C-alpha cells in the first residue's frame, strides 16, 4: 500500500511513477500479447470479469506494487472504464495534442485512475508521454489545451522497461512524436472507483511534515495568483480523501468556508 506522503504527492502532481517494477519476462510477453490485440471490455466491467485469472493483464494488476498502489488510490473492486493500446510509429513526424482524457469533470469527491504501462524502455528520441505536473485539478474539456505546445516544468517520460505510471484522469498529457526507428507502445487501463476514496492507504504517516510539503508544492507553469487556487483544490481533495474537514494550508480554505450562523440576542 502507498503511504500518506506518496498519496499527497499524487494529489499534488496528479501522477505517480513506479519505475521498472514489471519483471522483464512479463515485458517480453506483453509485446506479444499486445500485438495480438486486446479483448473487448464493456464499460463498467469488474476487474475479475474483464481480465480472468491467469491472463496477462490480471497478472500485471496482481503485481504487489501495482495492486497496492491501485487499491490505495481507487479502492478495492474497481470497474474497468476502458483499456487501449497506444502506438507511436517510428519517425511518424507528428505528436498528439495536449489533452485530458475526460469531459469537464467537477466531481469533488471521486476521481478515476489511469494506469499507463510501458513494456519497453522509452528513450528520449522515442518521444515518450508528455505530462504537465499539477494540471489535473484545473478542469478542461478534452483537447481544450491542444493549442499549447510547451509549458514550463512539463515532463516527457523516459523510463526503463516495465514502468507503470498511475495518473489522475484529469491530467494534461499527450504522446510525443517518435523520432527513433523503434515502435513505441503503451498500454492504458482506466479504473472507476466503486467505494468512497477515503483513507484507503497506509495512514501511519498522515501527520508527517512531508505531507504538507507535497500538498503545498508549486509548479513552474502556475501563474502567481491562480497557483493559490490549485493548492486550494488540493486542500479540498485532501479533506475528502482523509475525511478531515478541517485540514488546511495557510488558512486559505478555512477563511473562505467561514459562514457564521446568525445569533439572536437574548437581551
Domains: count for the chain: 1
Q: What is the mean pLDDT of residues 188-202?
A: 98
- Mind listing the pLDDT tens digit for each residue in 110-126? 999 999 999 999 999 99
Q: What is the mean pLDDT of residues 178-206?
A: 97
Q: What are phi and psi of 87, to 5 degrees?
A: -125, 130
Residue 144 located in a structural domain: yes
List the domain range (segments joined by +) for residue 75. Answer: 4-192
Nearest Cα residue to 254 out of 234, 241, 229, 236: 236
Residue 40 located in a structural domain: yes
Residue 136 located in a structural domain: yes
- Mind listing the pLDDT tens digit for each residue in 127-186? 999 999 999 999 899 899 999 989 999 999 999 999 999 999 999 999 999 999 999 999
Predicted pLDDT at 263: 63
Residue 76 located in a structural domain: yes
Q: Sign of the C-alpha dihedral, residues 104, 115, 58, 78?
A: negative
Q: What is the mean pLDDT of residues 17-40?
A: 96
Q: Is the predicted pLDDT of residue 265 greater than 70, yes or no?
A: no
In angstroms, the CA 258 to CA 243 distance is 19
Q: Is the predicted pLDDT of residue 108 greater than 90, yes or no?
A: no
In angstroms, the CA 27 to CA 38 distance is 16
- pLDDT tier at 224 (50, 70, 90 boundaries)? confident
Residue 67 located in a structural domain: yes
Q: Is the predicted pLDDT of residue 47 greater than 60, yes or no?
A: yes
Residue 12 located in a structural domain: yes
CA 165 to the chain's CA centroid: 7
- pLDDT tier at 261 (50, 70, 90 boundaries)? confident
Q: Is the predicted pLDDT of residue 83 greater than 60, yes or no?
A: yes
Residue 264 located in a structural domain: no
In angstroms, the CA 7 to CA 242 distance is 11
Predicted pLDDT at 249: 95
Residue 79 located in a structural domain: yes
Q: What is the mean pLDDT of residues 223-251?
A: 95
Q: Give the pTM.
A: 0.94
Q: What is the CATH number of the domain that holds 178?
A: 2.60.120.620
Q: What is the mean pLDDT of residues 189-210?
A: 98
Amino acid at each position: 500500500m502507498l503511504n500518506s506522503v506518496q498519496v499527497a504527492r499524487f494529489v499534488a502532481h496528479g501522477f505517480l511513477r513506479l519505475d521498472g517494477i514489471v519483471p522483464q519476462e512479463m515485458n517480453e510477453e506483453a509485446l506479444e500479447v499486445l500485438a495480438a490485440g486486446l479483448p473487448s471490455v464493456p464499460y463498467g466491467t469488474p476487474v475479475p470479469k474483464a481480465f480472468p485469472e491467469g491472463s496477462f493483464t490480471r497478472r500485471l494488476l496482481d503485481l504487489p506494487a501495482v495492486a497496492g498502489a491501485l487499491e490505495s488510490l481507487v479502492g478495492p473492486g474497481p470497474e474497468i472504464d476502458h483499456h487501449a493500446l497506444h502506438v507511436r510509429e517510428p519517425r511518424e513526424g507528428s505528436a498528439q495534442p495536449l489533452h485530458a482524457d475526460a469531459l469537464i469533470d467537477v466531481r469533488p469527491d471521486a476521481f478515476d485512475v489511469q494506469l499507463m504501462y510501458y513494456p519497453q524502455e522509452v528513450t528520449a528520441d522515442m518521444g515518450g508521454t508528455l505530462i504537465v505536473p499539477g494540471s489535473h485539478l484545473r478542469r478542461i474539456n478534452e483537447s481544450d489545451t491542444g493549442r499549447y505546445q510547451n509549458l514550463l516544468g512539463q515532463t516527457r517520460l523516459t523510463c526503463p522497461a516495465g514502468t507503470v505510471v498511475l495518473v489522475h484522469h484529469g491530467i494534461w498529457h499527450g504522446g510525443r512524436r517518435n523520432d527513433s526507428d523503434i515502435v513505441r507502445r503503451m498500454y492504458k487501463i482506466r479504473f472507476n472507483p466503486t467505494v468512497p476514496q477515503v483513507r484507503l492507504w497506509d495512514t501511519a504517516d498522515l501527520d508527517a511534515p512531508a505531507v504538507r510539503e507535497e500538498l503545498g508544492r508549486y509548479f513552474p507553469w502556475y501563474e502567481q495568483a491562480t497557483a493559490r487556487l490549485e493548492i486550494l483544490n488540493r486542500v479540498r481533495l485532501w479533506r475528502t480523501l482523509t475525511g478531515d474537514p478541517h485540514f488546511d494550508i495557510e488558512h486559505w480554505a478555512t477563511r473562505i468556508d467561514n459562514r457564521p450562523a446568525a445569533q439572536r440576542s437574548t437581551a
